[in-house]
């Protein structure tokens, strides 16, 4: 099997390629082609820690080889070790100053490190060397994110669209219909994308879209009830289901991912209306109102202190409940909005400090987001790290204070999506949390 055939196999059938590489490395542990195959196979399978081992060996064998350093950086990036990854990409550029791949990866690192100007620098330098569309969609996307951070909306959305049709934003026609490009069409199916928070956030554009098009919304099943009540169009929670039974009733003539709507409806700061667009279930609201009232007259404050995965920089916005102690000592009643079981932390907080945080799993851990929406709608305030409940607050028009990390997601860089108040992390979280605690104390005093 040729080197190119092994390369292709590692990208399509990583385990099969890894078996071949393993056999060759048993014969010769310094086989360059086998080491590269092992690295790519593990990277393709997203086994980033395992990909690190052959990548390090390749650098050891070829210390001045730019692609080897670039590959090692990609393994570190997969593990979200951005400093190590950046060091490798810069080393790759030292040995090949015209390495487009290393420039592209540096642009991506700069996005993760919230350095939009630097990201644009590397992206434009790369595009000047190789402007070909097929090879450069990734760096166009990085440049797009940088522009979104800066509020350069048209450039940002154009860059964001460059990955349409790829593995990250796949196009999946329902009946062979085309991808929507802004034209008037008979039945446009708008499909939610990414996480539930993104679906809710991009859903803020649906009211504008519905003025222009006959729309069918396909969403996460958890959002079906909430979206059906909120938008005057058919809504189906079949996004992750194979059976699209409704396509016989509503025959799509075009489809679009919800994130693509930005390039048509959100091109200026003023176009982000911030108007509430979600309607919580009145009956559920009444039930939660009765329960909240039974807890006494103090303000009811919702809190969420963790969110995201390692791959989405979750560690930057994950706090321990103990860290929120200055906030929890204010004269209020606190309600957990955690979507994962926080019972151990809550128990420890009550045992150590006598502070009760109420948590109702049937609401925040439910498969139906209608329950969460109804509870949030009845709270006086929500204090949270960037997670889906912040987007939910924006949709409901609920007062929300966001504990925003130093290096936030682009939607929390420029506060145009909602009226949420952003408390940006200082050198550490303690100063920011104390600031929130002070403001909450003043608010509680005024309401008493």
Residue 311 is predicted with a pLDDT of 63
Q: Are residues 319 and 402 in the same domain?
A: yes
pLDDT in tens, 115-156: 999 999 999 999 999 888 666 788 999 999 999 999 999 999
Q: Is residue 68 part of a domain?
A: yes
Give 163's pLDDT tier (boundaries 50, 70, 90).
confident
> How many whole angstroms separate alpha carbon 218 and alpha carbon 238?
6
Same domain, 316 and 246: no
How many domains does the chain divide into?
3
Clarify whether residues 77 and 104 are in a common domain. Answer: yes
Q: Check residue 379 and give its pLDDT.
A: 98
Whichever domain contains 440, its CATH number is 3.40.50.2000
Identify the pLDDT of residue 165: 83
Can you tell me the mean pLDDT for 150-163?
93
d(CA 80, CA 84): 9
Q: What is the CATH number of the domain that holds 46?
A: 1.25.40.10
Structure token pair of residue 230: 């909120």
**Domain interval for residue 426:** 282-447
Choose one of 109, 129, 161: the last residue of a domain: 161
| Same domain flag for 425 and 327 | yes
Q: What is the pLDDT of residues 255-267, one digit of tens each?
A: 999 999 999 999 9
Higher pLDDT, 409 or 19: 19
Residue 440 and residue 299 share a domain: yes
Instruction: Classify residue 318 as exposed, middle or buried by CB count within 10 Å of its CB (0-12, 13-18, 19+).
Output: middle
Same domain for 193 and 323? no
- In sequence order, the 6+-apart residues with CB closer than 8 A to the CB of 46 are 78
Q: Are 358 and 436 part of one and the same domain? A: yes
In this prediction the pTM is: 0.91
Task: Tell me, yes or no, whether 277 lies in a domain.
Answer: no
Nearest-angstrom CA–CA distance, 96 and 256: 40
Q: Mind listing the pLDDT tens digit for each residue in 354-397?
A: 999 999 999 988 889 999 999 999 999 999 999 999 999 999 99
Residues 123, 266: one domain? Answer: no
* 173 part of a folded domain: no
pLDDT at 437: 97
Residue 3's pLDDT band, with cuts at 50, 70 and 90, is confident
Q: Does residue 168 form part of some domain?
A: no
* pLDDT tens figures, 92-109: 999 999 999 999 999 999
Sign of the dihedral through C-alpha 334, 337, 341, 345: negative
Looking at 271, 304, 327, which one is the last position of a domain?
Answer: 271
pLDDT of the residue at 144: 95
pLDDT at position 447 is 77
pLDDT in tens, 59-74: 999 999 999 999 999 9
pLDDT of 38 higher than 80: yes
Sort 63 into a burial class: Cβ within 10 Å, 0-12 / 13-18 / 19+: exposed
Chain segment 391-443, per-residue pLDDT in tens: 999 999 999 999 999 888 888 877 677 888 999 998 889 999 999 999 999 99
| Pair (195, 344) in one structural domain | no
Other CB atoms closer than 10 Å to residue 176's CB: what's the count? 6
Q: Are residues 47 and 196 in the same domain?
A: no
């Amino acid at each position: 099997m040729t080197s190119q055939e092994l390369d292709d196999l590692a990208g399509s059938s990583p385990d099969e390629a890894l078996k071949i590489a393993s056999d060759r490395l048993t014969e010769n542990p310094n086989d360059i082609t086998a080491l590269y195959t092992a690295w790519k196979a593990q990277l393709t399978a997203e086994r980033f820690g395992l990909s690190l081992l052959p990548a390090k060996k390749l650098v050891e064998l070829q210390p001045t080889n730019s692609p080897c350093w670039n590959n090692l950086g990609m393994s570190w990036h997969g593990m979200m070790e951005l400093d190590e990854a950046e060091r490798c990409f810069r080393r790759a550029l030292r040995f090949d100053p015209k390495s487009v791949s290393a420039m592209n990866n540096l642009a991506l690192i700069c996005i993760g490190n919230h350095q939009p100007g630097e990201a644009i620098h590397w992206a434009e330098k790369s595009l000047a060397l190789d402007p070909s569309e097929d090879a450069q969609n990734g760096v166009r996307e990085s440049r797009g994110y940088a522009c979104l951070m800066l509020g350069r909306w048209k450039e940002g959305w154009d860059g964001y669209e460059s990955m349409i049709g790829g593995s990250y934003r796949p196009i999946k026609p329902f009946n062979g219909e085309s991808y929507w490009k802004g034209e008037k069409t008979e039945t446009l199916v708008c499909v939610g994308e990414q996480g539930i928070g993104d679906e809710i956030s991009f859903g803020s554009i649906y009211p504008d879209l519905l003025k222009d098009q006959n729309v069918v919304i396909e969403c996460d099943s958890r959002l079906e009830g909430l979206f059906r009540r909120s938008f005057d169009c058919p809504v189906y929670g079949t996004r992750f289901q194979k059976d699209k039974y409704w396509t016989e009733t509503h025959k799509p003539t075009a489809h679009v991912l919800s994130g693509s709507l930005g390039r048509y409806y959100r091109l200026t700061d003023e176009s982000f209306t911030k108007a509430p667009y979600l309607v919580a279930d009145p009956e559920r609201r009444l039930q939660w109102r009765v329960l909240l009232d039974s807890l006494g007259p103090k303000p009811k404050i919702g809190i969420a202190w963790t969110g995201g995965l390692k791959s989405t920089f979750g560690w930057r916005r994950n706090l321990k409940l103990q860290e929120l102690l200055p906030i929890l000592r204010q004269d209020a009643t606190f309600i957990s909005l955690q979507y994962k079981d926080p019972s151990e932390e809550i128990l420890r907080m009550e045992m150590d400090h006598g502070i009760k945080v109420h948590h109702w799993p049937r609401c925040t851990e439910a498969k139906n987001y209608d329950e969460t929406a109804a509870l949030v709608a009845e709270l006086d305030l929500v204090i949270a790290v960037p997670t889906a409940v912040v987007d939910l607050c924006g949709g409901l028009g609920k007062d929300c204070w966001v504990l925003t990390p130093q290096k936030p997601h682009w939607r929390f860089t420029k506060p145009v999506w909602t009226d949420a108040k952003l408390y940006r992390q200082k050198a550490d979280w303690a100063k920011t949390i104390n600031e929130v605690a002070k403001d909450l104390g003043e608010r509680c005093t005024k309401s008493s």
